[in-house]
Chain A
Amino acid sequence: MALPITYDSARKLISVDSEVSYPELQDEVTQLNKLAKDLISIQGEIPESAEPSNKITPLLKNLITSGIDALRKKQFKDAIQKLTVAIEMQQKRANWESFGVQLTELNGILQARCDAYIMNKQFIEAYNDADILLSTQVNTPDNFLRKAIASLNLGRLEDAKVNLERGLCFHENDKRLIDHLNVVNRAIDLENGDA
């Protein structure tokens, strides 16, 4: 079976033939083009190790600092925008660079962006960011709190309860989690007409 692709030797790019709709293949080709581009841009024949490149680090640091500054100044929209650009910058790293480092970078930015979303009352976006944070198992009390607050404000009281309880399993005495759980439980009772 021949895949419907064309190779452009001048630009060194692969493209899926335009007349076919094959989203899976399109995804694969996009990922391959990114890797090929990253590979072409390095000096050696293949990357020597998974050591992250230092080219991106200072740029990334600047973006994050300015994003957090905006958050400090309560310019939430601005902060969200800057942090989103920071994530895009982070995603420019080549895929062979250490996953551990990349994950912590991404999570760091996501935490700040999630808070900015919460402050800006964009709860569904905040929920999504918190979801990624927890699905990569960064089980800090803050992340549980982030997801719970987003859930609560989306009317998902049971979700909020589950997340707070889960957080409390690992951080038994976290006061913020306990207090929020009390609030959520009262809200659930109200919703059930049980209060």
Chain B
Amino acid sequence: MSAFEEEDVIEQVSKISVFTPLIYVTVLITALVLFSNFYRKRRFNELYKRQPFFGDNLPKELYFQLKNNNLKVNEKVLKAALLRRGAESIRRTIKLKEVTPFITSLYQRGSIGDELWERFQTATKLEELEVQEIIRETEQYKKGWVQKFVPLLQEICFNEALRRRYAAIEDRKLDLLDKWEIEVQDDGKLKIPNQPKIQIVQGPNGLPLTAAQVQALAQAQARTKASSTSPSVTTFGPAPPENLKK
């Protein structure tokens, strides 16, 4: 009986075509290959389209353009461009270092997505490469310059920042006046919204006081009469101008 049954089973098996597993495997593999191709292409596109973490690196572009200029560019101008490229790289490196803990904590809390996190990692790596490239570039001008070059970069970076901060004074002034709704009158005096008529009262030391301040001052002094306040309480300058004459 068992023999008969076995024959039957064999017959059944032989009914399945040899191609069935092959087709199965082919279909499976094609599907996987297609998927992985599609996935990789998409990923590549994503990486390609990925915005740089910082804006354009103009000092770097300027350097390259001057280096490849048709006319020969003065070597010192080129060096200046390289120094600025280095300073920009230092600035970016410092900035990246500064924001690393911020980005990390934001990422851990889920306040930013994976993409930004990856972009940040890429930016960090790119900046390391940039530093190495600048060092190589420096060595092309003269061997052993790196030691002298690099310390200057930080000075340039900070000094330029300080110059820009100082240069921003005029814009800031206008912005602040606008924000605080202070009008500049024809005579150059300021009109302050919460004190419509600025009555400049000469303080004891020839310093300007507004009416409200005088009143406030009077009351403040009345309150703290017991404590002997020095005359300088009433100065609105860091020190009385009389002292200047010493």
A149 to B207, CA, bound (A): 11
The answer to whether A28 touches B59 (Cβ under 8 A) is yes
Q: Which residues of B contact A186 (CB under 8 A)?
A: 216-217, 219-220
A39-B76 contact, Cβ under 8 Å, with A32-B59, A91-B163, A146-B238: yes
Q: Which residues of B contact A195 (CB under 8 A)?
A: 219
Binds A, one of B23-31, B63-71, B95-103, B120-128: B63-71
Instruction: Describe B's contact surface by its main secondary structure.
Output: helix
Q: Which residues of A contact B210 (CB under 8 A)?
A: 153
A162 at the interface (CB under 8 A from B): no
CB distance from A130 to the nearest CB of B (A): 10
B165 at the interface (CB under 8 A from A): yes
A119-B207 contact, Cβ under 8 Å, with A45-B142, A190-B215: yes
The answer to whether B155 touches A115 (Cβ under 8 A) is no
CB distance from B65 to the nearest CB of A (A): 6
Residues of B within 8 A of A (CB-CB), count: 73
The answer to whether B159 touches A95 (Cβ under 8 A) is yes
Q: Which chain B residues in 62-105 approach chain A with CB under 8 Å?
A: 62, 65-66, 69, 71-74, 76-77, 79-81, 83-84
Q: Which residues of A contact B220 (CB under 8 A)?
A: 182-183, 186
A103-B241 contact, Cβ under 8 Å, with A9-B74, A24-B58, A95-B156: no
Residues of A within 8 A of B (CB-CB), count: 73
A119 to B200, CA, bound (A): 13
Q: Which residues of A contact B241 (CB under 8 A)?
A: 74, 119
A29-B62 contact, Cβ under 8 Å, with A9-B74, A128-B173: yes
Chain B residue nearest in CB terms to A36: B80
A146-171: contact bitstring with B at CB < 8 Å (1 yes, 0 no)?
A: 10010011111000000000000000
The answer to whether B154 touches A125 (Cβ under 8 A) is no
